[in-house]
Amino acid sequence: MSGPPFAIFGPPAPGERRPFSRATRAGGLVFVSGHSAPHDPAQGIHRGATAAEQTRNALAMLDRILREAGSSLARAVQVTMLITDPADYDECNAEYVKHFPGGLPARHTARFGVPTEAKVGFACIALAGEAA
């Protein structure tokens, strides 16, 4: 087998504050860094007003990253849900389960406090290979 043992997707641009890549594929798995829903008001992109909207938009972002790396949300085996306010837990869960009709992957939830106004974000590990 030639070439590097892993592939990096979405490395930070020179001078960008984000010191991590969006995802890495190695050993038959795709590892996706934590991401909230896209938010760029200057371009008319808003992450959502409610925890449910942000959950939906963040999981759509996660799926786009996984597909770029040759996987999909349907192939997720472990998800980390990052929330800023435990009061949003039930609302996030109600939306979250809609995105895994084939069965829920293993998951843990943690509070996060990075400098963002996001209510929720997600990281995951998924099987690499054909996107489902």
Q: pLDDT for 64-111, tens place per residue?
A: 999 999 999 999 999 999 999 999 999 999 999 999 999 999 999 999
Q: Which residue type, as a one-letter code, is found at position 78?
A: Q
Q: Are 93 and 43 in contact (CB under 8 A)?
A: no
CATH number belonging to the domain at 22-127, selected among 2.40.50.140, 3.20.20.70, 3.40.470.10, 3.30.1330.40: 3.30.1330.40
Helix or strand run (H / E) with residue 91: helix 89-96
Residue 3, pLDDT above cutoff 70: no
Closest of 117, 114, 60, 109 to residue 89, by C-alpha:
109
Predicted local confidence at residue 13, as pLDDT:
86
Average pLDDT, rounded, for the chain: 90
Q: Are 49 and 35 in contact (CB under 8 A)?
A: no
Residues 6+ apart with CB under 8 A from 109: 80, 81, 82, 83, 89
pTM (predicted TM-score): 0.89
